[in-house]
Structure 1
Amino acid sequence: MTMTDTTTFPDPIYQDTVLGPLFDHARSDHAEGFRRIDRAHLVMLERTGILPRDVAATIARALAEIDRQIDPAGLIYTGEVEDYFFLREAELKARVGADVGGRLHTARSRNDIDHTLFKMSLKARIDVLSGQGRALLGALIDTASRERDTLIVAYTHGQPAQPTTFGHYLSAAIEVLIRDLARLEEARAIADQCSMGAAAITTSGFPIDRGMMADLLGFAGAQRNSYGCIAAVDYITATYGAVELLFLHLGRLIQDFQVWSSFEVGQIHVPNSFVQISSIMPQKRNPVPIEHMRHLASQTVGRARMIKDIMHNTPFTDMNDSEGETQAAGYGAFASGGRVLRLLAAFVPALRIDGRKVARTIDQACITITELADTLVRREGLSFRQAHEIAADTARAVTSAGESLASAGYVPFSASFRETMGRDTAMTLDDFVLAVSPAHFVRVRDRFGGPAAAPMDEALSAYHAALAGFETAARAHADRDTAARAALESAFGALMETH
C-alpha cells in the first residue's frame, strides 16, 4: 500500500482534483482580467503615492515582460504554486526580486481580485448574449411587421380558439423578450459595481482610490460596502436568474413551432434549409432545428438554475462555492444559450404561414363564432348570453354536419335565432358571412394591444423604440470599456517610460 506524503503541499490528489482544474479555469477564462487588474492596481498605487514612481515603473516593465513571454494557453499546472494568481506573482518576483515584486499586492486580496474578475467575465458574456438577444429581437420585429396581416389560428388549451395574425402572435413573444433583455440589463448593472479596494473584507489602511480602480477597469462605479464586495453573490444570481427566464420563455415559443409544423396542424411551413430527411422514409420532412433549439434552451435553463442552486444556503462571506469552478460551470449556459438565439434569429424569418391549412382549420373549427355572438349583441340588441347560445347552436349544427360555417351556417343560425328570440333576425346572408369572416374578426379588434392594423402599427413602433434603447445602452457599455482600456494602457505605458 502506497502512503500519501502529508508533509508537502499540495497533496497529489488535491492537485489533480481541485488545484489543477482551478488553474486551468483561471488561465483560460480570466487571464486577460488578471492582466488588466494588475496594471490598474499598479497605476492606482503610484497615483495615490502608495508606491514611488520608480518602483512602480520597475514593476510595470516586469509585468509587460510577463505578458509578452508567457502564453496562458500553453501553461500546465505543476503544483509549484497554489494557483494562477501566485504564478503571476512568482514570475514578477523572479524578475524584480521579492521585495519589489511583493509590493504590487499592497492593499488588495485575492478576495476582491476574484470577485472583480468574475464580474468582468460575466459582463463580457452578458454583452455577447445581449447582442445575440437584440439580433433575435430585431428579427422578430421584422417578421412581425412582414406578417402583420397574415392570418393564423390561435390556440388555447391545445385547441383552435380564435383567428389572429402571425404578427400579433410574434408581438406577444417580442414583448416577453424585451422584458427578458431588460432583466439581463439590470443584472449587468449589478455586476457593473467594482469589488477592487475591498481587499480581504474591510478595505485598507492605505489611501487607495476605489473609484479610480473602477474607472480604469471600465466599471460603472465601486461597490459601496466592502463586506458585500466579497460576500454578496446577487450579481451571480441576478445574472443566471435572467438567463434562466430568457430561455424558459423562448422554449415555450419554440414548442409552439414544433406543434404548428406537425403534419396534422401544418400552420407553419419550414423551408428546406431547416429540414432534415429520414434515412429510411423518403416522404418525411423533419424540422429538426426546432428540436435542437428546444433542448438547447432547456439545457441553458438547467445550467443557469444549477448556479442559483449552488448559492443556496451558503455562508454570507467569501467562499469557494461562488468562485472558480462555479463560475466556469455557469459559462456553459451562455454558450448553449447563444446557439439558441443565433439559430432562432435565422429560423423565424424563414418561416411562412400555410394559408390553406389555416383557412381549413378556421372553417372546420368555427373559431370566428365569437364575433357572430358579438355582432348579435351590437346589431340585434341581445344580451351576450343569449347571443352566445345562438352562436353555440350554430357551431354545433355546422360541425356535426361537417359543413363550412361561412357557406352553410346561415340556415341553422336563422333557425336558432327564431327559436331563442321568437322573431326573425335582421341579419342577411351577406351580414352573416361578414360576421364570421376571419379577416373581419381581426379587423374589428382594433383596441390597444389587439391584432388589427392600427394597434399593431403602434406596437411595432414601440418595439423598435425598445430595441433602439437597448442598442444605445450597449454602445454606452462598449464605449466606456474602450475608453477605460485606452486610459489604462496610456497610464501603464507612461509608467514603463519612467527612467
Structure 2
Amino acid sequence: MALWGGRFSGGSSNMFRQVNDSIGFDQVMASQDIFGSIIWSRALQGAGVLTADEQTQLEAGLQSLLDQAQAGTLDFSQTQEEDIHAFVEAELTATLGDIARKLHTGRSRNDQVATDFRLWCKDHIAMLRTDLVGVIAALTELAARSQDIIFPGYTHLQRAQPVRFAHWALAYVEMFKRDVSRLDDALARMNFSPLGCGALAGTTYPVDRQAIADQLGFTAPCTNSLDAVSDRDFVLELLFCASTSMMHISRMAEDMIFYNSGESGFIQLGDAVTSGSSLMPQKKNPDALELMRGKCGRVFGSLQGLLVTMKGLPLAYNKDMQEDKEGAMDAVTQWHICLSIAVEVLDSVVVDKERCQQAAQQGYANATELADYLVDKGIPFRTAHDISGQAVVFAISQHKPLEELSVAELQQFSAVIEEDVYPILQLEYLVDKRNILGGTGIEPVAQAVSAAQQFVAAQQATQP
C-alpha cells in the first residue's frame, strides 16, 4: 500500500522499488514511528479530528504494535510496504479497519520521518554517551594503576621527554570528555519537534505543537516548517561527533599498536582482543586495535557522503534525503562497537614498567634538563642548548646515557658542570620537575586521576 497512490493507476517497477523502498533499513525506527503516531493521535483528538473513542482505539492498537517493536517481534519479512510509515499504517488497518486511515490526517511523511529520525538519534545519543563514559572509566583506571610508570613521550615519533604512563592515558580522557560534551551540544540543537509541520507548509488543523513536543520529549517545536522538514543538521552533527570521536579512538589505537610492538614492548594486550597468524605461531597481533583504526575511515565516509548529498538541495524535502539514514545508522553502530571494544582492550593492558623505564633512559630526554642546569649556572640558554647537544653526541659515541658520563667527561663541554648535575639527570627528577597543572609530575597526575574518577562517578550516577 503506497501512501501516495491517489493519482496513480499503475504500480512501481521492480527496479524503481529497489532504489525507492526504505523498509529494509528504516524499520529500525519502528518504535519511534509508532510512538510519534500515538502522540499525533492525541493531537488530532485535541484538534477535534478524532473522537475520544477513536483515539482510544488508535492508541491501543499502536501500543500493541509498540510493544511488539520493543520486543523485537514485528515481522517485516513478508511486507510489501515501501517504508516504516506505510508498514505501521497497514498493520494498524489490518487490526482496526478504516479508523486507522484517519491517523495520517494533517500529517506528512516529511514531518513524520524528520520526527522519527530525531527520536532515533536522541535514543542512540544516550547509548553512545554511556559508551564514552565507559571508555573514560577504563582509561582512568589504567591511569590510576600506572602513575609510577615512566616511559618516553614522543614528538615526530621520536623520543622527546619522559612522561608518566598515566599522563598518556589521561590525555585521552580529556579527548573523550570533549566527545561527551559534543554529544550534549548536538542533543541540545537536535531537541526540537518537526511534527505538525506537514509536507512543508504546516497543517491546517489546530494541533497544539508545544504539547506534541512535550509529549515526544523535545524541548520545543521547530519554528519554521520549511526548515523543519528539510533540516538534516542534526544528523550531520551526530556524524561529526562520531567522526571526531573515531579519530580519537584511531589515534589511541595507533599509540597502543606501537607501544605493543616488539620494538617498544611497553604494553601487553590480552588474548581476548588479539589474534594469531595462520603461518607464524609466535605472532600475537593487535587486531582489535587495527580494526578500530580501520573503521575510522568508514565513519568519516558517512559524514562526507551526507554533506555532499545535502550541499545542493533546494528547500524543502527531496528524496535525496532518504540517503541520510543508512550511513548514519552504520556510523553509529561502528562507533558503538569501537567504544565497547576499546573498554575491553584497555582493561586487558599490562604495562611493562621495566621496559618503559629503560626506553625513557635511552632517549637522552634529560638533555633539556642539562641545558636548564647550565642556564642556572649563568650560561645563556642558546649556548647551554649547544653544549647539551655536544654532550649528547659524545654520549652516543660512548654508548652511554648522559647520566653515566663522568664529571670529567661532561666538563669537556663546560667547566661549570659539577657533581650536582647527577640528581637533575635522573628520570624522576625530569618528570616531577613539571609539577604544575597539566604537567606530568606525580602531584598533578594524581590530582588529574582523582578529577577523572570524580567525573566518571558523576556521569554514572546520572545514567539511566
Same fold, TM exceeding 0.5? yes
Q: 2:411 maps to which residue?
A: 414
Q: 1:384 maps to which residue?
A: 381
Cα distance in 2 between the residues matched to 1:62 and 1:127: 28
**Cα offset, 1:69, TM superposition:** 8.9
Q: Relative to structure 2, which stretch is displaced further, 447-456 or 405-414?
A: 405-414
Q: 1:86 maps to which residue?
A: 86
Q: 2:211 maps to which residue?
A: 212
1:338 to 332, 336, 339: 336
Q: 1:393 maps to which residue?
A: 390
Q: Relative to structure 2, which stretch is displaced further, 253-262 or 293-302?
A: 293-302
2:18 to 16, 19, 31: 16
Q: 2:5 maps to which residue?
A: none
Q: 2:230 maps to which residue?
A: 231
Cα distance in 2 between the residues matched to 1:52 and 1:256: 63
The Cα offsets for residues 423-447 of structure 1, whole Å up to 9 and x where unpaired, read as: x43x31xx22211111110111112
Q: 2:3 maps to which residue?
A: none
* 1:52-451 superposed matches below 5 A: 52-64=51-63, 72-78=74-80, 83-93=83-93, 96=96, 98=98, 100-323=99-322, 325-378=323-376, 380-408=377-405, 410-418=407-415, 424-425=416-417, 427-428=418-419, 431-451=420-440
TM-score of the pair, normalised by structure 1: 0.84
Aligned AA (1:12): N
Aligned AA (1:221): A
Aligned AA (2:264): V
**Cα offset, 1:40, TM superposition:** 1.0
Q: Relative to structure 2, which stretch is displaced further, 334-343 or 151-160?
A: 334-343
Q: 1:460 maps to which residue?
A: 449
Alignment check: 8 A CA contact 2:31 2:66 kept:
no
Q: Which secondary structure does the structure 2 equivalent of 1:154 belong to?
A: strand
Cα distance in 1 between the residues matched to 2:407 and 2:333: 57
Alignment check: 8 A CA contact 2:366 2:427 kept:
yes
**Cα offset, 1:235, TM superposition:** 0.5
The Cα offsets for residues 273-318 of structure 1, whole Å up to 9 and x where unpaired, read as: 4443333333333233222222123333333433333323222321
Gap change, CA 1:66 and 1:279, over 3 Å in 2: closer
Q: Percent identity?
A: 25
The Cα offsets for residues 67-110 of structure 1, whole Å up to 9 and x where unpaired, read as: 689953344233xx554423433454555554x43332222211
Alignment check: 8 A CA contact 1:195 1:229 kept:
yes
Cα distance in 2 between the residues matched to 1:95 and 1:179: 48
Gap change, CA 1:46 and 1:437, over 3 Å in 2: same
**Cα offset, 1:176, TM superposition:** 1.2
Cα distance in 2 between the residues matched to 1:48 and 1:454: 64
Gap change, CA 1:65 and 1:267, over 3 Å in 2: closer
RMSD: 2.5
Q: Which secondary structure does the structure 2 equivalent of 1:417 belong to?
A: coil
Aligned AA (1:441): L
Cα distance in 2 between the residues matched to 1:284 and 1:57: 64
Q: Relative to structure 2, which stretch is displaced further, 325-334 or 251-260?
A: 325-334
Task: Tell me which of the two structures has the higher relative contact order, counting C-alpha pairs closer than 8 angstroms and 6 or more residues apart.
Answer: 1
Aligned AA (2:362): Q
The Cα offsets for residues 160-192 of structure 1, whole Å up to 9 and x where unpaired, read as: 111001111111111111112211221122222
Q: Which secondary structure does the structure 2 equivalent of 1:152 belong to?
A: strand
Q: Which secondary structure does the structure 1 equivalent of 2:162 belong to?
A: strand
Gap change, CA 1:465 and 1:220, over 3 Å in 2: farther
Cα distance in 2 between the residues matched to 1:67 and 1:370: 66
Aligned AA (1:295): G
Gap change, CA 1:164 and 1:94, over 3 Å in 2: closer
Alignment check: 8 A CA contact 2:433 2:441 kept:
yes
Q: Which secondary structure does the structure 1 equivalent of 2:75 belong to?
A: helix
User: For structure 2, which runs of at least 5 residues remain unmatched after alignment?
Assistant: 1-7
Q: 1:488 maps to which residue?
A: none
Alignment check: 8 A CA contact 1:232 1:316 kept:
no
